[in-house]
């Protein structure tokens, strides 16, 4: 009897195991072939970018739905971004830092820095035309792209463009100039745009060049740039406060402008006239004092030609009413300095 029970138990276990095996999911031969084919067809660059001296590579991907061309474009754009991002990892620096310029001019005034940033903001970034998408691959729901940059070729082009800009700077500086400080600035001001364009190119050269160095200005170019910025600091500016509100903040505004490097001249010959009117609105809310200065400003040259006119609101806030007024004065001064820099850069020709 016991033997029979053991035999029946064994048969039951074997049957159960057989059923499990029979019910186990099976991978079709077609599915296995697809998996094998995918692993065989996927190019190595999808996971391992090429290593080639003098070249840089980037890999990007994009979701693939119905439009292969659109997916390939997005993958290519991502590959370009990936390539440049990898180059940037080894390049550091602040876009507004000009080491060679600081060595030449020493401490920069706020006016000079504002002029620099105003000019640079108007210069477009430099595109790397040598970045090319060389490979594209589609797999399942993704498109992959490989971007390639010939760093030697790109660096050669950038160096040639830098040399050309430097030659143009020297030509501008060679033009005769005389008269007032503003008249001299009118002649040499185009050189600052050339310097800004050169700086953009130099940034890109440091990015793609194998030496990873930003080419510095030579001694002659440093002197030219320094001389131009010295002219900005020599401009004679007269401030005219045209109403009671402006006169109330006059002392603080003039002091703040002077600290920024603006040379205020209230008598004699001047290069620029800044006319200011203002309405002050002190407000107290929950223990915080605010002073709103609604300012109207006109900037003219010595020939009474209007270079700029604008209306803007400045604000100061503090727990103390007197300090809120001081902050409002400094805010007005910043508005004036920024608009003065813009007027000088855009409208003195």
User: Is 108 a residue whose pLDDT tops 80?
Assistant: no
The answer for 157, left when phi > 0, alpha when psi is -120 to 50, beta otherwise, is alpha
The separation between CA 141 and the C-alpha centre of its own chain, rounded to angstroms, equals 35
The rounded percent of the chain whose pLDDT value lies above 90 is: 59
β-strands 272-285, 236-241 pairing: parallel
β-strands 236-241, 263-264 pairing: parallel
Local confidence band at 210 (pLDDT 50, 70, 90 cut-offs): confident
Question: Whole-prediction pTM value?
Answer: 0.76
Q: DSSP for 85-122?
A: HHHHTT----TT--HHHHHHH-SPPHHHHHHHHHHHHT
Task: Using DSSP, state whether 247 is helix, strand or coil.
Answer: helix
Cα–Cα dist 10/102, whole Å: 92
User: Is 98 a residue whose pLDDT tops 50?
Assistant: no
Q: What structural domains and CATH numbers belong to the chain?
A: 99-129+151-233 (no CATH), 235-347 (3.30.160.150)
Q: Which range is least confidently modeled, 22-26, 182-186, 225-229? A: 22-26
For the sheet containing 263-264, what is the strand order?
263-264, 236-241, 272-285, 288-301, 306-318
In angstroms and rounded to an integer, the radius of gyration of the C-alpha atoms of the chain is 34
User: Is 96 a residue whose pLDDT tops 60?
Assistant: no
β-strands 142-150, 272-285 pairing: unpaired
Mean pLDDT of 340-345: 86
Query: What separation in angstroms does the CA of 26 have from each of 17, 21, 171, 320?
Result: 16, 10, 79, 80
Cα–Cα dist 209/188, whole Å: 31
Of 18, 216, 196, give the one whose Cα is nearest residue 104: 216
What residues does 275 pair with on adjacent strands?
240, 298
Higher pLDDT, 12 or 197: 197
List pLDDT tens digits, range 292-319.
999 999 999 999 999 999 999 999 999 9
pLDDT of residue 211: 80
User: Is 24 a residue whose pLDDT tops 60?
Assistant: no
């Amino acid at each position: 009897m016991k033997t029979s029970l053991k035999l029946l138990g064994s048969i039951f276990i074997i049957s159960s195991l057989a059923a499990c095996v029979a019910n186990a999911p099976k991978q079709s031969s077609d599915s296995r072939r697809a998996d094998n084919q995918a692993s065989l067809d996927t190019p190595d660059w999808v996971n391992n970018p090429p290593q080639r001296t003098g070249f840089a590579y980037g890999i990007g991907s994009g979701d693939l739905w119905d439009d292969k061309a659109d997916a390939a474009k997005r993958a290519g754009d991502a590959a370009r971004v990936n390539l440049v991002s990898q180059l940037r990892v080894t390049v550091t620096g602040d876009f507004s830092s000009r080491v060679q310029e600081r060595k030449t001019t020493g401490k920069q005034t706020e006016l000079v820095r504002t002029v620099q940033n105003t000019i640079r903001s108007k210069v477009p970034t430099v595109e790397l035309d040598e970045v090319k998408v060389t490979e594209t691959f589609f797999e399942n729901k993704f498109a992959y792209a490989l971007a390639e940059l010939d760093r030697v070729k790109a660096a050669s082009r950038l160096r040639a463009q830098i040399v050309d800009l430097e030659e143009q700077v020297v030509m501008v500086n060679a033009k005769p100039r005389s008269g007032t400080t503003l008249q001299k600035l009118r002649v040499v001001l185009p050189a600052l745009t050339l310097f800004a364009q050169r700086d953009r190119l130099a940034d890109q050269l440091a990015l793609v060049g194998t030496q990873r160095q930003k080419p510095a200005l030579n001694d002659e170019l440093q002197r030219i740039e320094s001389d131009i910025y010295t002219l900005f600091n020599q401009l004679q500016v007269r401030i005219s406060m045209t109403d009671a509100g402006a006169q109330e903040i006059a002392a603080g505004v003039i002091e703040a402008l002077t600290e920024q490097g603006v040379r205020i001249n209230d008598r004699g010959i001047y290069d620029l006239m800044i006319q200011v009117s203002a309405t002050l609105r002190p407000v107290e809310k929950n223990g915080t004092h605010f002073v709103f200065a609604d300012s109207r400003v006109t900037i003219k040259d010595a020939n009474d030609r209007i270079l700029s006119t604008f209306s803007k609101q400045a604000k100061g806030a503090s727990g103390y009413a007197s300090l809120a007024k001081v902050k409002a004065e400094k805010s007005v001064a910043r508005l004036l300095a920024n608009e003065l820099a813009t007027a000088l850069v855009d409208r003195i020709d």
